[in-house]
Structure 1
Amino acid sequence: MNGEIPVRRAGKRRGRLLAAAVFIAVLLLITLASSVVVVDQTEVGVVKVLGKVQDEPLQPGLHFVTPFITEVVRMPTYEKTMEMVGERHIKALTSEGLPVFFDMAVQYKIDPMKAPQVYSTLKNYEVWMESRIRAHARDIVAQYKAEDLYTEKREFIQSDFERRLDEEFRPYGILITAVLIRNIDLPESVERAIQAKIEAKQEAERMQFIVQKEELEAKRKEVEAQGIARANQIIGESLRNNPEYVQWYYLQVLDEFAKSNNNAVIVVPVPSAFYPGVDRNASANIPLILPAQK
């Protein structure tokens, strides 16, 4: 019996040592896991040590940090889209005082090197962004007429939105890449008036195009006529200077008539100069009878 007591005490001692070893191993694993941070390629890590945001963010990759006192907040750096559509659409007044409703999409991304600044100064930055976007929308739309939102000026308005938002958001580390305005809703009477005006403008532009086309066609015909007249003038001068050619060509044509398959007698006037030995003071034209070949 007395020998069993030391054995039991030794067993308990080994059990305590084993439990302590397991506890230390678990603690080491927890410490190691807390000190290792993996940042994805599409984000950066904002480091907080004892609650204080550090200036340098963690870039994508594997990092070791001080465990238990360090917290890493991941922030996306890829391009995101903030949409204000449906019940969250934009409401504003035009320069004529007409109410206008439209959907808007703002594309943006966070500057990786300024992610700590975005987190520390704005934190819920999307809520702040939306309020500022709506304020800019009211100010910008108030400078334009309702029809400007339907015409080619819409692109200019979108560019104006993008420029103003970028000027305000960039210092905070938020980069605006695009602004899109869609689904514009106006009073029905205003829409009809704008559509009629657009159609009238398109018709006027079409008629102007037709007039310009006709003017170009008239100029083309004028140049063509001048070319034909000049060609005729050159041909006439050439024929006057070469009467022998006319006689030769005349005889060639008669020869072709004579060789034709028509069963007829061809009577043609021939200048007296074409007959050798005929008095040139005789009748100007002497009939020539050519029997057609059968």
Structure 2
Amino acid sequence: MNRIFTDLRNMVRRNRVRLVCIGVVVTLLIIFLWPNMVISIRPGELGVLYSRFFGGTVLDRTYEEGIRVIQPWDIMYVYDVRVQEETQNIDVLTVDGLTINVQVSLRHQIIRDRLPTLHQNIGPNYRNKIVIPIMTSAVRQTISGYRPNDLYSTARQELQDQMLVDAIEEMGRIPIMIHGFVVKSITLPEVLRKAIEDKLVAEQNYLRYNYLLLEATQEAKRKAIEGQGIQLYQELVNKNMTPNFLRHEGIRATRDLAASPNAKIVVVGGRDGLPLILNTESQAAPASSSAPADGTEPAPAATAKAPAKSVPESEASTKAASQAAPQAAQQEASQGTPPASSAPEGIGLRAPDESIMDYIKRLDKTLLNPPQVQTPKQ
């Protein structure tokens, strides 16, 4: 054993220079061939091996992500198999022969199982050989059937769907999956774009004016119906506006005021003991059916309501009544007679020791059950 080691040591000493040269050459070869021998496949990528001396492209196997060591004379082709997007600006002609610029994007992806076939038939430059020409052809074929105003307004989604169908048909048996077309922008000539915008604005203004006319017509109908309702309401109210009804409404309003918990000041000073704002003295009392005791002609009863539209007459009657009231009061005071009350028979003034609630109940009971007035026989 010692003899063998001794022989090896002697041989190394004799060939020291030669062994150093061989080591340097091998090291340089490894450094030079390392990129071709050790292949790093990153996430989302797939490798296809080309064997130079053993049948060419390996069709039944693909190499997943990771570190792969191959023969230095073989070649590993790495493809990105994730979804990719290709964007192009394409000049196309419309059905009218007008040139427009369309910016579109195509999303595509390599079918993983058929990557070796794609590499063998098309190669790594499949984007320029297949994807871009098919995208350009689909865009031109689709837009050639549309007018410029359709492209500018409402046909965007229809365009994208039709481009996708045309691209899938042209792709055929090529192992590339197309996920979709996206039309990012359509650029028309400035003159045509301005004309289309003016046309759309005019159409919207036309629709707006039609809506305003319809709204005005409906508003006129509404006001006419409202006026008829107000007129009918006024006729019914004027027909039933009797002194007893007004007194009943005044009693009900006074009762609501008395029952309210809020602080209030109510001025009660009319002949019927009602609040001044609800006083019915402005309404003329109905004519008495009995003749005067002195045998004179009875005065005609004043009308309960003034004409609805005669403003001067109502003002004149109000002024005359205001002038006649003091004279009548002075005459009655000189004669020593108490002032006459316009309340129905059985309703007196409120006694000093009578509460408001008791007085209201008495008024309500008397109005609901008025006494029968006997007319004198002729």
Q: Distance in 1 between matches of 2:251 and 2:9?
A: 147
Tell me which residue corresponds to 2:84.
80
- Where structure 2 has 5 or more consecutive residues not aligned to the other structure, the ranges are 1-6, 255-265, 292-297, 305-339, 344-348, 350-378
Q: Distance in 2 between matches of 1:191 and 1:150?
A: 8
Deviation at 1:249, TM superposition (A): 1.9
- Where structure 1 has 5 or more consecutive residues not aligned to the other structure, the ranges are 1-5
Q: Distance in 1 between matches of 2:186 and 2:280?
A: 83
Deviation at 1:150, TM superposition (A): 0.9
Deviation at 1:155, TM superposition (A): 2.9
Deviation at 1:144, TM superposition (A): 0.7
Deviation at 1:208, TM superposition (A): 4.8
Q: Distance in 1 between matches of 2:244 and 2:208?
A: 57
Q: Deviations over 1:158-189 (max 9, x none)?
A: 22112321333374223233322425133x44
* Matched residue type, 2:177: I
Q: In 2 relative to 1, CA 23–184 (structure 1 residues): closer, same or farther, beyond 3 Å?
A: same
8 Å Cα contact 2:152/2:186 also seen in 1: no
* Structure number, greater radius of gyration: 2
* Matched residue type, 1:125: Y
Aligned length: 267
Which deviates further from its counterpart, 249-258 or 128-137?
A: 249-258
| 1:163-182 equivalent positions in 2, closer than 5 A | 163-169=165-171, 171-172=173-174, 173-182=176-185
Q: Distance in 1 between matches of 2:35 and 2:98?
A: 60
- Does 1:54 pair with 2:54? no
Deviation at 1:21, TM superposition (A): 7.8
Q: Distance in 2 between matches of 1:102 and 1:164?
A: 16
Tell me which residue corresponds to 1:3.
none
Give TM-score, length-normalised by structure 1. 0.64
Q: Deviations over 1:178-227 (max 9, x none)?
A: 322425133x44334322222222223434554666677789x59x96xx
Tell me which residue corresponds to 1:184.
187
Q: Deviations over 1:211-270 (max 9, x none)?
A: 666677789x59x96xx88xx7xxx89xx8xx98764323456885539998xx994337
Tell me which residue corresponds to 1:116.
116
Deviation at 1:96, TM superposition (A): 1.5
Q: Distance in 1 between matches of 2:68 and 2:253?
A: 106
Q: Deviations over 1:66-125 (max 9, x none)?
A: 53354321111233332323xxxx222211222223333333333333333332222221
Query: 158, 167, 172: which one pairs with 2:160?
Result: 158
Give TM-score, length-normalised by structure 2. 0.52
Tell me which residue corresponds to 1:258.
269
| 1:7-22 equivalent positions in 2, closer than 5 A | 9-12=10-13, 15=16
Higher normalized contact order (CA 8 Å, seq sep 6+, divided by chain length)? 1
Tell me which residue corresponds to 1:145.
147
Q: Answer 1 or 2: which has greater strand percent.
A: 1
Tell me which residue corresponds to 2:249.
249
Q: CA RMSD in A?
A: 5.1
Other structure's SS at 1:268 match: coil
Q: What's the % identity of the aligned pairs?
A: 18
Other structure's SS at 1:269 match: coil
Q: Distance in 2 between matches of 1:163 and 1:78?
A: 22
Tell me which residue corresponds to 2:92.
92
Q: Distance in 1 between matches of 2:247 and 2:26?
A: 127
8 Å Cα contact 1:147/1:194 also seen in 2: yes
* Matched residue type, 2:167: L
Q: Distance in 1 between matches of 2:34 and 2:91?
A: 53
* Matched residue type, 2:145: Q
* Matched residue type, 1:177: G
8 Å Cα contact 1:269/1:287 also seen in 2: no
